Amino acid sequence: QVHLQQSGPGLVNPSQTLSLTCAISGDSVSSNSATWNWIRQSPSRGLEWLGRTYFRSKWNNGYGESVKSRITINSDTSKNQFSLHLNSVTPEDTAVYYCADLDRAWGQGTLVTVSS
Amino acid sequence: QSVLTQPPSASGTPGQRVTISCSGSSSNIGRNTVNWYQQLPGTAPKVLIYRNDQRPSGVPDRFSGSKSGTSASLAISGLQSEDEADYYCAAWDDRLNGRWVFGGGTKLTVL
């Protein structure tokens, strides 16, 4: 049973970088069958897919169009985790952020507020 | 506006069967499988159905999913008070280099 545990700050200053980490238990971040996603949820945007990383003989990434120019998702095999980095944030990036394997499990969520 | 279309609300009485629809297009539901998620108030979404009709271990068989063409449905039989939650459908969309898309959610009320 895969379990995802998120960590990271709940408050980010405007123009700075939002960084969150998702620790995986019950599977490997370099599994050849899993994909690891970041999604956010806000009243104005609903559920919005941000991007994913996955390993299929090599690492692959895919990003949503709305954040494509600002987002990086990477993985750390030594810690069995993957991370989200979203730069140049504005108050519109305020949301609950989730990591997920969309076929199996979601993290607990992190409310991130962008404010000075 | 969400890419997948769900009714904003649904309701039923205990023991009843309710269905929630999810409408998409040829680039998402028409070509790819559908997942359903249950979100209880103040909690993270939980996988209810994946790949159209597969239930993770621990999900009661009162919950079932189906897909036909560019639409999908979630059925809940023997409705219980603890089923009161928001329900979301999701599918991979092949447009714009590929992305997951979601429905706007259906708030289920158990009367």
pLDDT in tens, B9-23: 999 999 999 999 999
Q: What is the pLDDT of residue A29?
A: 98
The strand pairing partners of B83, in sequence order, are none
Dihedral sign, Cα of residue A65, residue A88, residue A113, residue A72:
positive
Q: Do B96 and A107 touch (CB under 8 A)?
A: no
Among B43, B47, B96, the residue with its CB nearest the CB of A104 is B47
The overall average pLDDT reported for chain A is 97
d(CA B40, CA B78): 18
Q: What is the pLDDT of residue B7?
A: 98
Instruction: Report in angstroms the alpha-carbon separations of A11 from A7, A8, A23, A73.
Output: 12, 9, 20, 20
Does the pLDDT of residue A80 top 90, yes or no? yes
A64 in reach of chain B (CB within 8 A): yes
Give residue B1's pLDDT band: very low, low, confident or very high (50, 70, 90): confident
Chain A / chain B CB contacts < 8 angstroms:
51
Give residue B96's pLDDT band: very low, low, confident or very high (50, 70, 90): confident
pLDDT in tens, A8-43: 999 999 999 999 999 999 999 999 999 999 999 999
d(CA B29, CA A17): 34
Sequence letter at residue B21: S
pLDDT in tens, B39-82: 999 999 999 999 999 999 999 999 999 999 999 999 999 999 99
A44 in reach of chain B (CB within 8 A): no
Chain B residues contacting A, CB < 8 Å? 2, 35, 37, 43-47, 50-51, 56-57, 88, 90, 96-102, 104-105
B92-105 average pLDDT score: 96
Q: Do A39 and B100 touch (CB under 8 A)?
A: yes
Q: What is the pLDDT of residue B37?
A: 98
Does the pLDDT of residue A101 top 90, yes or no? yes
d(CA B71, CA B83): 23
Give contacts of B104 with chain A, Cβ < 8 Å.
46
